Structure 1
């Protein structure tokens, strides 16, 4: 007879297991993130015979369609829980990577079968694959894993997210170097198949260890035991906002739009990173490695403000992120002058560090945990939608202006708008004053 685990009597809080394995789950989404796709951009588009604009447009359409379904995926999370939703998305990501590794074969086969030899065939193949890749990886797997971790903590949410964010930042920032090595060793198709096998193994561990919330195991957030053994100082209960109530607040839109801003520009920078930096006079190796210094700034900012988020007003964190966006904009405008590189590194690091904080702690802190999936799912759909537009807009900037500088000016305009529109974006929780 199988013995049931008494989670309340474990010598450690199971939430830390959830945080550890949830972080690995977010790591597994890297091949579906822009930073993971970007290393494959040049070899895959060349193998398929697509131009940069065509490849970027396929990425845009596939990502845009995936963004339309992420709100629904958030409701799946609320209904079915992290374990089922996250594992299902991981398996979808595995299947997509295997199919993507044969994208050139699929395109050639379709052209032979139909007798229609045109760029629209590989474009359509990549559009479908990008939809699957972005929906499963960047969207559902990331959202469900992050939300699960945040549901296990309340008072210590910021400090736990600090260590989670550090791990994610290190993993994401080092992925272009790892993926570039895999591509050089096994070419782009073999690299995608190798990543699929790794994620399949991770999916097994996710099924074993993922748990949706502490209450289903007789526990409460932060490690206090539930039931009769519960105790300690009683904390004021948060209002549990319905999704429609959350979406009616200025706070939701201010934070979601700023997170989408970060997604847009980091996606554009990542997707075209080689061309952006080589056009400004840097070599390919410098371009691939630029995310390492960004990650150092990201780590420091994330660590500091994750801890401060437990005691500091969220709106102050939002304005630090706005400052980072302004610095980033100036850096992109002056990148060809050399000095702009360090402004890009500093600004992107600040924005990325605050993104890791606000995208995790803001939603449960402002709107409660009960409808976290639906609320964060809407925000995630905006984030993914912004990332869908970025590669194509950056590509158009290069096509029409022969430079990416115009995107820096666009960013400065948006940051100015966000500064004034966020002045009254306080925490909507009753009795919260920011």
Structure 2
């Protein structure tokens, strides 16, 4: 058959932070070839699928991925050559069984995911369909609202801000292309404001600015001002989303936020900060507002704010259906973040999405801080119709690859494209 897998190869490339990652290439019997690259996170949940690194201090400070590359070319290739490339669930199941661990620790989630992604891409080519239609069917036509990280902190920038991402959400635009324009214009206005104030306009891992600010509230004030100066209405046209990534500032059972006067804040004190902020600023979404072990705080936050804003679990769920089900049972959040490399295969990612759909949870797709130019996640976001995509700032090629791919999809769909806000305007 022309669709059967004839060869699988892999090699080490560098991601956007200059650290190694895995790129996988597949060749089908009919001559089709496809490649896919695997991203890597800096702020990671402890239950994420295992990213296999070499541990050889003489190469890339131990962060090489030659072991994962070898696992693709030796073990995984041997199991998959001869299979029909369209058998995605079967292929993903075989890889999970071959690995034999709960978190893909033996072969490496970076090896397994690289193969899973490239199989889907090659299958789409073999079926002569764009990837988003192959994965989502002929009715896949909803473009996501971009959530653009324009001020970086936490593990993404060495600027003193403990909270990780301050995003703009141009959900009031009439089309995806216009939303991208709203966001880009606001980003450039913010640069000007930072330069005028002498705060610094260098960028962090995800392309957002990394100014030295007195605290997180100042970041919110600057973003609102940038939205206004750009000519947009805060809240109605452009809102704000936060990803505090609170696990990164958990210490001794509390939260350390010096800029907010908290040498050791309790969950209730941190919740009070968020309550104050959503009253003062046009915030529509808070992701990982508490540490990944602080389930009671998420439940309390959702009870207090869930009717007004989106409460998102990322490190809490790590795209794992087992944890998402717990969140559903506990009413811990009303949304989940989706990152394929947290779980390791396309099939398991789709299962997590389907669980969210059945329970009525919103879900948004996300890049990682260590990215490549691979734009798979953009097609995936359209295929799965979640309506939200977190892709970093409108800056740096590895971020723009995703945003520009969504522009291409919108152009291909033409009048069939749908763009609608998941948030109340």
TM score, norm. by length of structure 2: 0.24
**Whose relative contact order is higher, 1 or 2, with alpha carbons under 8 Å and at least 6 apart?**
1
Higher helix share: 1
